[in-house]
């Protein structure tokens, strides 16, 4: 039972103002607000460490948060739902999820920041909850040491900058590796996502152990006629040129030029000028090892570029990517240490050994700073002298 509002002054304060309040949403469910109030008072969550729990008939997807105040709430079990790639959910599906949350849980749906959906329910209600989810096409997601639910950006269904069909690729990989998502068997958890372009709106390179980023290999295309229209509408060419991180753009007062040897396809000019569009030779870059967590010898990490370009031409491209992804997961399963995240594994095992094991060749783009690194400059000179050096 919820405490009276006079016992929750900090929660009540968070309900004030015009902006939608998360406390107002929580207050409309059976969530124990007293737990939140305790956390606000002490500056630390009233929930303690959580983890995977084993429930008969549910190999993965069920987890629990323990409680620092068992007198208020003994524990907080939850079920992670495997949602459609791209975050696309119909109103009908949302209504059915809401019905499940009311019927089996505390009336609360959590859209987790990793791109999945979580429903909170007592342990004894999790199996009937899964059965009802199955009845309208949804299934349990991932918890524990397995391949976590594959997520993606909205892709070409909503975004004009998508270079690859991110939801389609995430769906293919999710279907192919469904057993690895639902049956824990890896050294540690493994998060994966697909971003449609280098803008990486879903933070895949920073957050995920494996990210597949839509890229283009040829040069951006400049439409000078459209560029003139952009200028007439108030476009600022100097800002465009000065903002290019590699100084690859040149403006002579009449026409815009691009230095192809310097351009790193970073999307800055494309994002800021509608007359510049991505090239047509498109595929994905495979980035491994990103993580936010502080555990492990490396701490938080940005992923390594393992393969700078994988073409996705038809079904064969999806299958090829899936094959080398499967080979990496097998290599990690064989050589990874217990509870070793993939970024720490790559740092210890070495990118070169991984590439050899997968039958892939090393390319200059896998260096952490491709254009500024002395060994990647085309002229072979030291940084500062070569094209693109600092």
Give the residue extent of every domain in the chain: 5-139, 151-217+281-359, 221-277
Residue 258: pLDDT band (50, 70, 90) is very high
Q: How far apart are CA 95 and CA 86, in angstroms?
A: 19
H helix or E strand, kind and range, residue 343? helix 342-349
Token pair belonging to 7: 């016992």
The predicted model gives 254-283 an average pLDDT of 92
Sign of the CA dihedral with 173 first, then 176, 180, and 183 last: positive
368 — pLDDT class (breaks 50, 70, 90): low
Strand 62-67 with 249-251, pairing = unpaired
Q: What is the pTM of this model?
A: 0.87
Question: Residues 282-303: what's their mean pLDDT?
Answer: 87
Q: What pLDDT score was predicted for residue 56?
A: 84
CATH of 151-217+281-359, one of 3.30.413.10, 3.40.309.10, 1.10.580.10, 3.40.630.40: 3.30.413.10
pLDDT tens-digit series, residues 155-174: 999 999 999 999 999 999 99
Output the average pLDDT for the chain: 88
pLDDT of residue 117: 93
With vertex at residue 113, the alpha carbon angle to CA 112 and CA 118, rounded to the nearest 5 degrees, is 10
Q: Does domain 5-139 correspond to CATH entry 3.30.70.2500?
A: yes
Looking at residue 381, its pLDDT comes to: 32
pLDDT at 25 over 90: yes
Q: What is the mean pLDDT of residues 343-349?
A: 93
- The segment with the largest mean pLDDT, out of 104-108, 296-300, 383-387, is 104-108
Share of the chain above pLDDT 70, in %: 93
**Token pair in block for residue 365:** 């783009």
Q: What local confidence, expressed as pLDDT, does residue 372 receive? A: 45
Q: Which CATH number fits domain 221-277: 3.40.50.10300, 3.90.1570.10, 3.30.70.940, 3.30.70.20?
A: 3.30.70.20
Instruction: Give yes or no for residue 384 having a pLDDT over 50.
Output: no
Per-residue pLDDT at 275 exceeds 70: yes
Q: Which of 79-83, 276-280, 292-296, 339-343 has the lowest mean pLDDT?
A: 292-296
Confidence check: pLDDT of 58 > 70: yes
């Amino acid at each position: 039972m919820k405490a009276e509002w006079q016992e929750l002054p900090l929660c009540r304060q968070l309900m004030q103002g015009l902006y939608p309040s998360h406390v107002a949403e929580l207050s409309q469910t059976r969530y124990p607000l007293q737990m939140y109030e305790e956390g606000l008072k002490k500056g630390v969550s009233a929930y303690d460490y959580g983890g995977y729990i084993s429930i008969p008939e549910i190999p993965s997807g069920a987890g629990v948060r323990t409680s620092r105040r068992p007198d208020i709430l003994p524990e907080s079990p939850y079920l992670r739902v495997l949602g459609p790639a791209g975050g696309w959910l119909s109103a009908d599906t949302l209504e059915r999820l809401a019905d499940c949350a009311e019927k089996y849980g505390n009336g609360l749906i959590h859209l987790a920041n990793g791109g999945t959906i979580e429903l909170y329910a007592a342990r004894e209600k999790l199996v009937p909850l899964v059965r009802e989810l199955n009845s309208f096409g949804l299934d349990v997601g991932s918890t524990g040491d397995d391949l976590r639910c594959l997520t993606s950006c909205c892709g070409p269904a909503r975004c004009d900058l998508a270079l690859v069909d991110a939801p389609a690729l995430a769906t293919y990989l999710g279907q192919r590796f469904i057993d690895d998502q639902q049956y824990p068997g890896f050294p540690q958890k493994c998060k994966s996502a697909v971003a449609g372009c280098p803008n990486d709106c879903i933070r895949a390179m920073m957050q995920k152990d494996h990210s597949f980023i839509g890229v283009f290999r040829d040069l951006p295309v400049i439409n000078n006629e459209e560029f003139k229209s952009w200028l007439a509408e108030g476009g600022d060419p100097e800002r465009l040129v000065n903002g290019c991180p590699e100084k690859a753009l040149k403006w002579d007062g009449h026409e815009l030029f691009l230095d192809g040897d310097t351009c790193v396809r970073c999307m800055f000019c494309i994002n800021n000028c509608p007359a510049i569009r991505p090239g047509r030779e498109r595929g994905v870059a495979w980035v491994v090892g990103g993580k936010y967590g502080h555990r492990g010898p490396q701490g938080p990490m940005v992923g390594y570029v393992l393969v700078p370009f994988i073409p996705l031409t038809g079904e064969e491209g999806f299958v090829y990517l899936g094959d080398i992804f499967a080979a990496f997961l097998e290599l990690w399963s064989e050589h990874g240490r217990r509870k070793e995240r993939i970024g720490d594994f790559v740092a210890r095992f070495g990118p070169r050994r991984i590439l050899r094991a997968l039958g892939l060749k090393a390319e200059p783009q896998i260096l952490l700073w491709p254009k500024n690194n002395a060994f990647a400059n085309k002229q072979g000179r030291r940084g500062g002298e070569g094209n693109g050096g600092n």
